[in-house]
Structure 1
Amino acid sequence: MHSSLFRTALVLGLLSAIGPFSIDMYLPALPAIAGDLGVTETQVQLTITLYFLAFGVSQFLWGPMADAYGRKLPLVLGIGLFAIGSVGCALAPTLGWLVAARFVQGIGGAAVGVVPRAIIRDRYTGIEATRLMALVMLVIAVSPMLAPLAGSVVLAFGGWRVIFGVLVGVAAMSLLITLFALPETLARKDRVPVNLRSMGAGCRVLLSDPVFMGLTFVGAFGFGSFFVFIATASFVYTEHYGLTPTGFSIAFAVNALGFFAASQIAAPMGQRFGIVPVMRLALIGFAAAAFVLLAATWAGWGTLPVLMAGLFVANAFLGLVMPATFVMALEEHGDIAGLASSLGGTLQMVTGGLLVTALGPFFDGTPLPMVTAIALCAALALGIGLAVLRRMPAPALAGE
């Protein structure tokens, strides 16, 4: 493997991990936060929902800024905001304060969500870009496997506020990486000034592109299933199945492992068999696994091993889909990659946040509402995916 590709993947992966790390690390603490602040489980889930919404909507700011001022400046500003939000979370005396600070965190974290995808598009396309995206996801995979465990350790010895103190340190490390290890990939001659006319024109192009929109919403409902799991899993695993925070962290890591392990073979399979056939098969597998799990849960067979196995298989199929959706959605829009990345990210994160909000009234601490929502996401991703894949151009069909 080319050393520059690996180095780029490592740097971008470490930066991109800020967003999921800020969620995964404090998941074991959600019941403790609810108890400490005297609020319900549904209310404390607002700290996740508002983070998702802020993360999603503010990508629409960072993407155009990255097209106008280069890739590094938005990263520096975003990481700074993330650090400020983390300090606010650590000091939060009430749920309202915590939700507001998480909102600020989400605004800052969005920069490291959208800009790395534009950087990938600056330097690579096609199979190489898919391979790089998969490598970035491999680095990000450390987050769902280690962050909850780290959070449970911190929770045991220092309380939930210390978790956000650790995130301040993560932000500081990320700032150093951005300043000293990340080159600027957008030349001055290629920068697009920020103005409403250019943004409007770019959005019209993107919103009228059925391939871009279709792939974006395949990713939206794919990630939406993950968001539902993130928002509800700590309560389901600790209260319904009786796991400790550490036990929940291990179970969460196992469920996430399928996604990230499969993402590493997405590029080789796409190169050998064609990206579109692989995506089609993976979407069918994702939906099939989700509905088998739903049927088992409805039938009363939803034991912890069954739930973990079903989620592992479903997420493994999803891991074959997500890297390609990111890359293929931007493939024809290299001249507005920042705007395309931000619009796609906004639509995906807002969709995820709305799904979590819609689930709230139905959540009862059992796995059935969670599994039902995941199956719904899988069905929507499959339906949209099968429609859009028929419109893919010949190079994608050939796996080039």
Structure 2
Amino acid sequence: MGSSQALFREGPVPVTSSAPVGMSARRTALIGGLMVATGPLSLTLYTPALPTIVADFATNDAAGKLSLTVYFAAFALAQLICGPLSDRFGRRGVGMAFFAIYVLGSLIAAIAPSLEVLFLGRFVQGFGVSAGVALSRAMVRDQFVGSQAIRILTMVNLILTVTPAVAPTLGSVILLFGSWHLMFVVMAGFGLAILALLGTSARETLPPENRQPINLRVILGNYRRLLMAPDFVFPALLLCLTFSGFHGFTALLPFILIDELGLTPFQFAMAMLVQTAAFILGNLVTGYLSTRIAGDRLVTIALVLLALSGLAFGILPRLYPLSILAIMAPVGIWMLGLAFISPSATTAAMAGFGAIAGAAGAMSGFFQVGGGFLGSLAAGTLFADARTALVLQLPFVAMLTIAVAMLDRWRKSRQ
């Protein structure tokens, strides 16, 4: 019993000013942001080409959406491997290994002669890119806590917005001058750039004395500890649900805006700037407010925005079926809410688990990306068409998110 308690005892957070390892807040945010940005790059660069890929392989929309689902499944599951490995061997080396896997997956997809090979490439990509979410959070938790951690995660989110802002436009330009295969060459190049950054500019943030052994019993025990802790589970569920909504409409928008409303890939990219601008604005406001109000107040603002977005998703596309604004206005409001809730929920989920920050980052990432997997899977399989999925799924997810947050607050009030 004593050894079990020692195993799960919380250790002190390393102080960056005196520790021989670690990075400044700015460098941590920059490297973490670029690592995390690889995931959305692999999604948003690719989405303008989905209808083209469906046509090239003579398949249907469901098969095109399945390529997103395969990516999310590998992304979610691999986090559970990446986190414990980083707790044992450190963040930097594990990150380099996983991003090398991501580059391999990108090259497989780039030469894919069939839909099955494309699925394989996407799976390998998702496996490798899982390091971005898990390790960036662990790197922050290794060094920072509280409002400082929220501020740094907000900086990470700001960096994260740059790639999705450029990627759809870049993807559309690639389609004008070449085939969708070139998109995966670009992804491979981005992965190589991350490898170079980790190799030359990153420093290890996990001191040797804080490392955990690779032992299946220990790994499962750490994950069990997280899943049995309401202070972890409720914030992780909020991440799961909000990102489920985000990735749900991400999978649906190309088929609504391009196939139904007739936008060209470039026009689609321009419409998606509403999503990006809203997320940037939300992160700027969150960064300003994070040092002035508590994290739970930021979550309250997010819940109001998600409620408005869910209501708008349920009403506007029905009232104005030919309007792009009726689709993109709810998207923009959802992204504002996502910007408010993500840093606060992530910090809350990681707060009490500094001794197993890699496992906590991996499990919170599993919830987040698992939500993306479920959201894209439901959007592609449970409804007759993309518009029906949009007006039914997003309001339901919004209501469920609010219910989880209210249940968490009721739980805390009774403690």
Superposition TM-score tier, normalisation by shorter sequence = over 0.9
Q: Is the 8 A contact 1:280 1:389 kept in 2?
A: no
Correspondence for 2:318: 298
Q: Residue 159 of structure 1 is aligned with which of 179, 194, 199?
A: 179
Correspondence for 2:209: 189
Q: Give the alignment of 1:262-281 within 5 angstroms.
A: 262-281=282-301
* Distance in structure 1 (CA, Å) of the matches to 2:322 and 2:234: 33
Change (3 A) 1:371 1:180: farther
Correspondence for 1:216: 236
Matched, 1:351 2:371: yes
TM-score (norm 2): 0.90
Q: Percent identical across equivalent pairs? A: 30
Query: Could you report, residue by residue, the CA deviation over 1:170-229 in whole angstroms, capped at 9, with x for unpaired residues?
Result: 111110001111110001111001111211221221111112101101000100111111
Matched, 1:333 2:324: no
Matched, 1:388 2:389: no
* Distance in structure 2 (CA, Å) of the matches to 1:205 and 1:361: 34
Correspondence for 2:17: none
Q: Which moved more, 1:191-200 or 1:295-304?
A: 295-304
Q: Is the 8 A contact 1:266 1:324 kept in 2?
A: no
Correspondence for 1:33: 53
Q: Which moved more, 1:9-18 or 1:185-194?
A: 9-18
Correspondence for 2:14: none
* Distance in structure 1 (CA, Å) of the matches to 2:326 and 2:316: 8
Runs of 4+ in 1 over 4 A off after TM superposition: 362-366, 390-393
Q: Is the 8 A contact 2:242 2:401 kept in 1?
A: yes
Q: Which amino acid aligns with 1:298?
A: R
Instruction: Give 1:389 deviation, angstroms.
Output: 3.4
Correspondence for 2:6: none
Query: Could you report, residue by residue, the CA deviation over 1:123-173 in whole angstroms, capped at 9, with x for unpaired residues?
Result: 111111111001111111012210010111111101100111111111111
Correspondence for 1:8: 28
Correspondence for 1:89: 109
Change (3 A) 1:342 1:321: same
* Distance in structure 1 (CA, Å) of the matches to 2:412 and 2:191: 39
Matched, 1:372 2:392: yes
Q: Which moved more, 1:83-92 or 1:267-276?
A: 267-276
Aligned length: 391
TM-score (norm 1): 0.94
Matched, 1:69 2:89: yes
* Distance in structure 2 (CA, Å) of the matches to 1:273 and 1:112: 28
Instruction: Give 1:355 deviation, angstroms.
Output: 2.7
Correspondence for 2:362: 342
Q: Which amino acid aligns with 1:48?
A: L
Instruction: Give 1:242 deviation, angstroms.
Output: 1.1
Matched, 1:288 2:299: no
Q: Residue 262 of structure 2 is aligned with which of 221, 242, 247?
A: 242
Q: Residue 133 of structure 1 is aligned with which of 130, 144, 153?
A: 153
* Distance in structure 2 (CA, Å) of the matches to 1:314 and 1:102: 27
* Distance in structure 2 (CA, Å) of the matches to 1:390 and 1:145: 38
Change (3 A) 1:235 1:160: same
Correspondence for 1:55: 75
| Unpaired segments ≥5 residues, structure 1 | 394-400
RMSD: 1.7
Q: Which amino acid aligns with 1:190?
A: N
Secondary structure, aligned partner of 1:273 = coil
Q: Is the 8 A contact 1:280 1:386 kept in 2?
A: no
Q: Which amino acid aligns with 2:195?
A: L
